[in-house]
Chain A
Amino acid sequence: MTAPAGTVLGGELAARRRTLALWCLSLAAVTVLYTSFYPSVGGSKADALLANLPADVVTALGFDDLGTAAGYVSSTVFSLLGAVLTLVCTIGLGAGLVAGAEEDGTLELELAAPVSRSRVYLERLALLWLAAAALATTVVVVLGVLALALDLDLTPGRLAAAGLALALFGGALGTVALGLGAATGRRAVALAGGAALAVLGYVLAYVGPLVDGAGWVRHLSPYDWYIGAEPLATGVDERGGALLVALAVLAGALGLVVFRRRDLLAQR
């Protein structure tokens, strides 16, 4: 007799729900802070300010288009702190869910219980994606309310597209961390791998285009897949989304295959 589906997930959720709620709260706070500044610094004022800066610097900072509400929110919330907070949460969660629990030994009783290794892994992965979805939904809902309150030109469809991109981005990089952690049993490897991919992606997306003839490297960047097409201004980016999903499937499958085969709780 084995437990109904979702039991592993439910246990993890119960243990982590407070931490996850705090992440959502801080993400909401950051979103409110940035966006409420738009009426005072956005629009034509920002355009005048940026006209004084070299074009390359503006590009490197991701401030190409602060003149519209979509451009402003995209450049601040989605490209910067919102993305950073989301990634810190999902990569940390991904590293902790399998590798962290294995390193501190709390995984042992669950692995000895009548649930398969696949379920132990996949239900934790599901929780990670639930968290990514919750974070993105928080941003979308907060922005939706602010758009009404401040009369910003952000349509629900575009907001949802940007939220979907954020969920895929956070979920995919969190999955990389979770998969690496499950494959190695080492939390540090999982954290380092997820963080390195995030930073590398950022560098490729923004610095690549500045180097002559190397513009194509940005297409290798998960960060570019996430926000290169500006979903808040242009709607769902199928290609970018598909690439993020592919990255997640690859990392998730790799982690699962190794996790099923190797010795558990034997890393020293």
Chain B
Amino acid sequence: MDAAVRVRGLVKDYGRTRALHGLDLDVRRGEVLGLLGPNGAGKSTTLRVLLDLLRPTAGSVEVLGRSPQEGGAALRARIGYLPGELALPPRVTAGRHLGHLAALRGDGTAARVPALAERFGLDLRRPLGTLSKGNRQKVGIVQAFAPAPELLVLDEPTSGLDPLLQRELRLLVGEARDAGATVLLSSHALDEVEEVAGRVAMVRAGLVVDVDAVGALRARAGQHVRLEFAAPVDRAAFAGLPGVEEVVVEGAVLTCLLRGTPDALLRAAAPRTVVRWSAQDRELEELFLDLYRGRATPAGTPPAAAVGGPPAGVRP
């Protein structure tokens, strides 16, 4: 059995609002998987189902081989969880609260708290209500990692952290994976997860619309390239180059969408004088739009999710 998380056809309704429309997700043991999607896509809802905070409306969910509800407390003992909207009791100190959460675990959790707190520069003596957003997020990170769980479920773990601590968190995730843990983390931005995640599942409107290795996804997403030449150029010299799309030439300025390696484009540009150039990774949202138009997949394989079109957000 090598699936840490197995979700099939997960439907979740909040009252009359349908948040998940039959979501499928597999997380392999020992991998880091990024759950990527825009606001309201259903990331937090999915993760909360795994923790048995929410019960599925339909579909099947297995976490470490058990259903979250049947697995109960014993299953949660094997999971570390960082909520997307972390709320902490304001008058309790960070140390006391982490001590309480560690006491709920038993085992060696409490012993691992000080080192983690030190690593993230968290002052354990301060009341939680006096901490900045980033410092509160550190409390969430420490309590999630301190049990050294088999499965880490992290809902937007980098939110509120400065770049240095974001890097520290990525290191921590990498270490957990190296130690054999499985990590499922959510994010809005591909660049936040691409360094640490092996695969990415893209969620939109309550469905996983695509799962792929990070590198492949990045190549598919492409870059906006802008080249400014010393003299006007001919569009024909660039249109049709491998990996180059949407070529637009206005006088001496060329813009295009580049997928894959830039080699061909650079060779075509090299005989001319380039005075300025820029290449920008495309926003995730554009990638989602591509998926709906059925464009972003390698030739010949239409994306499964695009076939049925976007699902409705609300049931009639």
Known: A114-B77, A263-B54. A11 touches B91 (CB 8 A): no
The answer on a CB contact under 8 Å between A106 and B54 is no
- Determine whether A85 belongs to the interface, using a CB cutoff of 8 Å to chain B: no
CB distance from B82 to the nearest CB of A (A): 9
The interface size bin for chain B is: 20 to 34
A56 on the interface (CB 8 Å rule)? no
Of A2, A4, A11, which one neighbours B77 at CB under 8 angstroms?
Answer: A2
B73 touches A114 (CB 8 A): yes
Pick the residue among A105, A113, A116 that contacts B105 (CB under 8 A): A113
A100-118 residues at the B interface, CB under 8 angstroms: 104-106, 108-116
Task: List B residues 72-87 near A (Cβ within 8 Å).
Answer: 72-74, 76-77, 79, 81, 83, 85-87
CB distance from A248 to the nearest CB of B (A): 26
B96 within 8 A of A: yes
- A106-B106 contact in complex given A2-B73, A112-B83, A263-B54, C-beta closer than 8 Å: no
Chain B residues, Cβ within 8 Å of A51: none
Contact B48 A265 (CB under 8 A): yes
Shortest CB–CB separation between residue A183 and chain B, in angstroms? Answer: 15
**CB < 8 Å A-B pair total:** 86
Min CB–CB distance A260 → chain B (angstroms): 10
A106 contacts across to B, CB distance below 8 A: 87-89
Q: A1-B105, A7-B103 are known contacts. Are A109 and B83 too (CB-CB below 8 A)?
A: yes
Residue of A nearest to B17 (CB): A268
Contact status A110-B89, CB under 8 Å:
no
Q: How far is A10 from B106 in the complex, measured between Cα atoms in Å?
A: 14
Question: Taking the complex as formed, is B51 at the interface, i.e. its CB lies under 8 A from any CB of chain A?
Answer: yes
Interface residues of B in 50-94 (CB under 8 A from A): 51, 53-55, 72-74, 76-77, 79, 81, 83, 85-89, 91-92
Give per-residue flags for B106-149: 1 if the beta carbon is below 8 A from chain A beta carbons, else 0: 11000000000000000000000000000000000001000000
Query: Does B101 have its Cβ within 8 Å of any Cβ on chain A?
Result: yes
Q: Does A53 reach chain B (CB closer than 8 Å)?
A: no
A228-268 near B? 1/0 per residue, CB < 8 Å: 00000000000000000000000000000000011111101
- A108-B87, A109-B83, A112-B83 are contacts. A15–B106 as well, Cβ < 8 Å? no
Please give 16 more A-B residue pairs, beta carbons under 8 A apart, in addition to A112-B51, A114-B77.
Answer: A3-B105, A7-B100, A14-B96, A14-B100, A15-B92, A108-B87, A109-B86, A110-B101, A111-B51, A113-B76, A114-B73, A114-B104, A119-B73, A263-B53, A265-B48, A266-B48
- The interface of chain A, by Cβ under 8 A from chain B, is 1-4, 7-8, 10-11, 14-15, 104-106, 108-116, 119, 261-266, 268
Across the A-B interface, give the 3 residue pairs with the lowest CB-CB distance, nearest first: A105-B87, A114-B77, A113-B104
